[in-house]
Structure 1
Amino acid sequence: MEFSPCHMLQNGSVALCPALQQLVAEHGPLNEEKQALFDAAKQIGNNDEQSNWKEELLQLREKVTLFLSHLDPHSEREEGVLFPMMSKYIGNTTGPIAVMEYEHDQAKRNIAAFLEKTKMLDEEVNKEEAKELASYVINAYLILTEHFMKEENVLFPMAEQMLSDEEKEELAKHLM
C-alpha cells in the first residue's frame, strides 16, 4: 500500500494534501488584512465630532485596494483550478461550488462598489454617507469570513476526499 500525504487523522478530521493546505494557509494573512479593514470600516462615522470622513474613506480605499491585490490571486486559483476539478464530480450549478462562486461574486461586488463609489468623493462627505460607503467593506468582510470557514471546514476536506492523487498533484502545480 502506497503512503499518501493525504489521509484521515485519528480524530476523524481530514488531513489535507499540501496543495489544499496551501489554500488554507493563504487564509491566515488574508484574515489579518480583512480584520484590519473591518476594524477601520467600523470606525468610520462612529465619532460624533466633526471628522474628515473623506480622508478616512480614502485611507480605507488604499487598504482595500492592497487587500484585493492579495485576495484576487487566491480566488483565481480556486475558481480557475480547484472548483473546475471538483465540478467534474459534484457539478457547479447547485451545491457547494455554486455557493462558493456566488460568495466570491458577492464579496467582489461589495468591494467593487466601495472602490467605485469612493473614486470621486465630494469634499463634503457627511457622516451617513461615510457609514454607507464603509458598509460595503463590512459586508465583504462578513461574506468572506463565513466563506473562508466553509472552505476550511467543508469544501477543502470534501476536495481531499474526492480528488485523485493525480488531481492533487495537478492542483499543486497550479498553486506554485
Structure 2
Amino acid sequence: MEETITQTFTNEHSSCDKIFAQAENLVAKKQWAEADTEFTIFNNAMEKHFTAEEEILFPTFEERTGQTAGPTQVMRMEHQQVRQILAQMQTCLSQRDDEQYLGLSETLLMLMQQHNMKEEQMLYPMIDQVFGIEAASLLERVRAT
C-alpha cells in the first residue's frame, strides 16, 4: 500500500515534536550550547515542513479543488503565528532567557497541537481523498525539495 499524505506529514509532526521537546529540556537545564543546536534543528525542520506545505501541497490542493479561502488559508496564517513565536524563542535563546523561552514554549506547544490536529484529522485526509493514487507523485515532489 502506498504511503499517504496523512501518514507522511503526521510522521513529520511527530519528528518535529520530539526535537521541540529536546530543545525545551535543554533550555530548562540551561545547557545553552546544546539548546542552540537543538533549536536550530527544530526551526529548520519546521521551516522545511511549512515550505513543503505552502509551496507544493497546499497550492496543488487549491488548484485541484478551487478552494483558496478554506483550510489552507487558515493553516498558512497559523504557520505565520508559529514563525513569529519561533523568532521570539530564538531571541530568548540568544539572551539566555530560560523563563521567557519556556513560557513561549508552552504557547507554541498549544498552538502546534491544535494546528496539527486540524491538519491530521481534516486537511491531510481531504488531500488524500482528492488525490487518491496521485498522492504518491505529490509526495515525490515534496521529498525532492
Give the TM interval when normalised to the shorter protein: 0.7 to 0.9
Q: Taking every aligned residue pair, what percent have the same amino acid on both sides?
A: 21
Does the residue aligned with 2:68 lie in a helix, a strand or coil? Answer: coil
**Are the counterparts in 2 of residues 96 and 155 from structure 1 also a CA contact under 8 Å?**
yes
Output one character per residue of 1:65-86: Cα deviation in whole Å (capped at 9) or x when no partner: 1111222222211111111112
CA deviation after TM superposition for structure 1 residue 102, in Å: 1.3
| 1:47 aligned residue | none
Within 5 Å, give how 1:130-149 maps onto structure 2: 130-149=98-117
Does the residue aligned with 1:18 lie in a helix, a strand or coil? Answer: coil
Give the structure with the larger helix fraction: 2
- Cα distance between partner residues in 1 of 2:22 and 2:82: 16
**Are the counterparts in 2 of residues 64 and 111 from structure 1 also a CA contact under 8 Å?**
no
CA deviation after TM superposition for structure 1 residue 90, in Å: 4.8
| 2:139 aligned residue | 172
Q: Normalising by structure 2, report the TM-score.
A: 0.78
- Cα distance between partner residues in 2 of 1:38 and 1:133: 8
Aligned length: 141
| 1:97 aligned residue | 72
CA deviation after TM superposition for structure 1 residue 40, in Å: 5.0
RMSD: 2.6
Q: Normalising by structure 1, report the TM-score.
A: 0.66
Question: Which segments of 5 or more consecutive residues in structure 1 lack a partner in the other structure?
Answer: 6-16, 45-54
Within 5 Å, give how 1:12-161 maps onto structure 2: 18-20=3-5, 21-40=7-26, 43=28, 55-56=30-31, 59-88=34-63, 89-93=65-69, 95-119=70-94, 121=95, 130-161=98-129
- Cα distance between partner residues in 2 of 1:134 and 1:57: 13
